[in-house]
Amino acid sequence: MKKTLTLSVLILTLIIFLASDALAIPAFARKYNMTCKTCHSPFPALKPYAEEFAANGFVLKDQDAPRYFLDTGDPELSLLRDVPLAFRLEGYVTYNQSNLEKSDFNAPLLLKILSGGAITKDVAYYIYYILENGEPGKIEDAWLMFNDLFGSKLDFTIGQFQVSDPIFKRELRLTKDDYYIYKIKPGISNVDLTYDRGIMINYGFESGTDITIEIVNGNGIGEGVANVFDDDKYKNFVGRISQDIGDNFRLGGLAYWGKEEKESILGGFTTTNDLRMLGFDATISFEPLQLNFQYLERKDKDPFFLKDNPNIFYSGPSKDISTRGAFSELIYRPDGDASKWYAVALFNWIESDLDPLNLKQLGIHFGYLLRRNIKLVGEYSHNFTDKFGKMSIGFVSAF
């Protein structure tokens, strides 16, 4: 009874607080003096128009930003009149996270400080600083993009980004639940499809075909040693192709080739892990529904870095590990980008030779927009593998 009363009081307080009028708009909306729904449906999910905007170096080809650059009298200097800034703040009340049977004030769960835009013609940047889960802050996305190189459709990006960005952008999903197959790291491998440092080359054809090549360090975005970020001599390679089929269907494929070296957990020697990933993805969109799907297979030759030694720390298999998984995401917006509410169902499935990685989880998410940039959200997820459910209610805001 006490837990129910506490949760009810908190929910009521949250709704009263968020129902107050809010007029703040994010950085790109401020820059072009337009509504958030031009690019988002609902925020932070992107519409195709927004994807084109980002690919064009955060410039709208059909609209100029008034007084964007400062006139210094030097034609060789491109100086922003104002550095664009935006903030994203999220907070929740949760129950039974990690099957702990506890309620929690999970607020603020996340604060992002974002900046991005065109530095000069065909050169853009994007960066954000994040405080999450009460941990010390860090920079996640931070990159520079050269757009339409040599007058072609070739784009070149350097910095740190998510390897999965050309497929589905994790930070733009609507749910609190994640796309978990992108985060899988068998054994003590450092490789997954989230953040890494490297370069990305993209070329778009008039036929609706996009080709992306990434070359990355393969060890995430942790601290460097002696001004070196990569902790081994190898680079990992990613190939991606995507094809639009009409206005409502997109099909894509991904291949990842990698090798990593580190000291064995047994101590005294270093060894390598060769890994491969293959996957395909699809998006089907017929308003008011959109279906996103991802399937991925991964094989690791020696993810515990044991070489020819037995694994004394884990009783299961340790060599030639296979992991496969998928997620399917169904988004419902009753009135398209004018919807005041929306619903999402997200199913995650992972099956691996390493039992602790296995997962079957279904999440149901509802959101209601108080303003274009403030929404109330509620989510329930059921983990069929470990047989427990978790729930959250909260807010997501951008200003």
Question: Residue 61's pLDDT is what?
Answer: 62
- Residue predicted with more confidence, 7 or 72: 72
Q: Give percent of the chain with pLDDT exceeding 70.
A: 83
8 Å CB contact between 196 and 219: yes
Q: pLDDT band at 365, cuts 50/70/90?
A: very high
Residue with tokens 């195709």: 48
- What average pLDDT is seen over the chain? 86
DSSP code at position 47: P
In whole angstroms, give the CA distance from residue 198 to residue 160.
Answer: 6
333-346 residue pLDDT tens: 999 888 999 999 99
pLDDT of res. 188: 93
State residue 309's pLDDT score: 84
Q: What are 361's strand-pairing partners? A: 348, 383
Looking at residue 12, its pLDDT comes to 40
Q: Say whether pLDDT at 41 is over 80.
A: no
Top pLDDT among 148 and 255 is at 255
Kindly state the tokens that stand for 86. 């935006």
Burial 30-46 (b: 16+ CB within 10 A, else e): bbbeeebbbbbbbbbbb
Reading the block at residue 112, the tokens are 């992002």
* pLDDT score at 109: 92
3-class state of residue 319 by DSSP: coil
Q: What is the pLDDT at residue 165?
A: 95
pLDDT at 50: 55
> Is the bond preceding residue 136 a cis peptide, omega within 30 degrees?
no
Decide which of 14 and 37 is more confident: 37
- Least confidently predicted of 51-60, 117-126, 144-153, 228-237: 51-60
Q: Which two tokens stand for residue 276?
A: 């491969």
Contact in structure between 396 and 90 (CB atoms under 8 Å)? yes
Residues of the chain above pLDDT 90, percent: 63
What is the C-alpha separation between 369 and 40, in angstroms, rounded? 12
Q: How many CB atoms lie within 10 A of CB 380?
A: 16
Among the listed ranges 10-19, 85-94, 233-242, 298-307, which one has the minimum average pLDDT value? 10-19
Residue 391 CA: distances (Å) to CA of 177, 276, 343: 11, 35, 15
What gap in Å lies between CA 89 and CA 111, rounded to an integer?
5
Average pLDDT over residues 67-89: 80
Q: What is the pLDDT of residues 271-327, one digit of tens each?
A: 999 999 999 999 999 999 999 999 999 999 999 999 888 877 777 788 899 999 999
pLDDT digit string, tens, across residues 111-124: 999 998 888 888 99
156-187: per-residue pLDDT in tens? 999 999 999 999 999 999 999 999 999 999 99
Per-residue pLDDT tens digits for 14-25? 433 333 333 333
Rounded average pLDDT over 356-378: 95
Q: Quickly tell me which residue has 């999903």 as its tokens.
A: 173
Contacts of 289 (CB under 8 A, 6+ apart): 330, 331, 332
Task: Over range 340-359, report the average pLDDT.
Answer: 97
